[in-house]
Amino acid sequence: MNVASPRAPVRRDSACPSEQGLNETVMTSSLDEIQTKGEPLEQEIHLLKSVFEAIRDPLFVLNRKGEVLKVNPKGGELFNTSPEELHQMLFVDLIALDDRIAFQEGIEAMERGEEISLNLHVVNRMKEEIPVLCFGSLRGETYCLTLLDQREEIRRVKEWERLKQELTEKIREKDQYARELQVMRDLFRERTREVEKMKEEALLLSYTDDLTGIYNHRFFIQQLTLEVERQKRYGSPLSLLMIDIDYFKHYNDHNGHLAGDEALKGIALLIQHGVRQSDIVARYGGEEFGAILVNTGKREAMEIAERVRRLVAETAFPNEKEQPNRDLTVSIGVATFAPPIATLTDLIREADNALYRAKRAGRNRVEG
């Protein structure tokens, strides 16, 4: 009898091929799903990191204890400290002592849900105090703080203040210069007026008789020359009076030179009153006077001469009763520029001749 051989035993500790494949499929599917979901998250984290590092102002993230959880590169640059070192510090330790109370008040404000804006001073590794403007708010369980370095702004403000001060000083200097210049101009104008006045006075003195104050012989001849030329050009009438004090030497000898000088001054004044304002009266020399009568014909000149003679005769002078004719009088010769008179010399000669005739006829009279 044949005896059948025994069956080999079946192993129970290993999975069958079909179960193993199933497990591998499930594991592969889970890894793919995790990878699929993780890639966007990783990309987002990378993006946030890039944005965080790209922020141009120092940015700090603190926990509720005030510890630095995160800081961007600009924060490290501000304090001249690596981010790793800053992560081991309390943010309040970076603030100047005088500003810590203000920062603590800012923390309390952020706890109440407020956004803060504080002017603070932070201290870097070299113990330099840096002015910053701190903006902060509470986001969940973290404080987000942004610091704006104010050094450049302060420098610009100081530079602006310096420039403004310089401008103000320049304006002040300009105003001062303008005032000084105006003073100099006023002084110059005043001096100019004084010089012009002195010139006028000097000119007047050069044309004025020292004793009587009327025009002198030089000015008389100059003006008579001009009037003669004007008469020749335009034909306007022109007359001349030559006036001489009668017996003046007798008056001067008996009363003295001082009395004689007073008589000369008085008669000069009377002549000026007797002629018109437009006429020119001068001391021709000694006791003789001349009067240029512009725009005046012979008849009117004779009337003016008579008025002058009468004024002198009717005026009382000291001791005039001792004069030969018992009065201090004048004789007047009148000449008018008309043919045969053709030159200045002719006009003066004719007036002198008329005066001579008045003297010969008894004095105290007018001849023309």
- Specify the number of domains making up the chain: 3
Q: Is residue 35 part of a domain?
A: no
Determine the pLDDT at residue 15. Answer: 45
Candidates 293, 304, 303; CA nearest to 237 is 293
Q: Is residue 124 part of a domain?
A: yes
Q: Is residue 20 part of a domain?
A: no
Residues 74 and 130 placed together within one structural domain of the fold: yes
Residues labelled as active-site residues: 287
Which H helix or E strand runs over 38? helix 17-54
Q: Is residue 22 part of a domain?
A: no
Residues 320 and 303 placed together within one structural domain of the fold: yes
Spatial distance between the Cα atoms of 284 and 242, rounded to a whole number of angstroms: 8
Residues 159 and 145 placed together within one structural domain of the fold: no
Range of the domain at 294: 217-367
Residues of the chain scoring pLDDT < 70: 1-54, 204
Residues 235 and 281 placed together within one structural domain of the fold: yes
Spatial distance between the Cα atoms of 359 and 288, rounded to a whole number of angstroms: 13
Final residue before a domain boundary, out of 167, 183, 207:
207
Determine the pLDDT at residue 49. Answer: 55
And the tokens for 278?
Answer: 């437009």
Spatial distance between the Cα atoms of 314 and 366, rounded to a whole number of angstroms: 15
Determine the pLDDT at residue 290. Answer: 97
Residues 198 and 242 placed together within one structural domain of the fold: no
pTM of the full structure: 0.51
Residues 237 and 201 placed together within one structural domain of the fold: no
Spatial distance between the Cα atoms of 232 and 175, rounded to a whole number of angstroms: 60
- Give tens-digit pLDDT for 73-104: 999 999 999 888 998 899 999 999 999 999 99
Determine the pLDDT at residue 198. Answer: 79
How many residues are listed for the chain in this entry? 368
CATH number of domain containing 327: 3.30.70.270
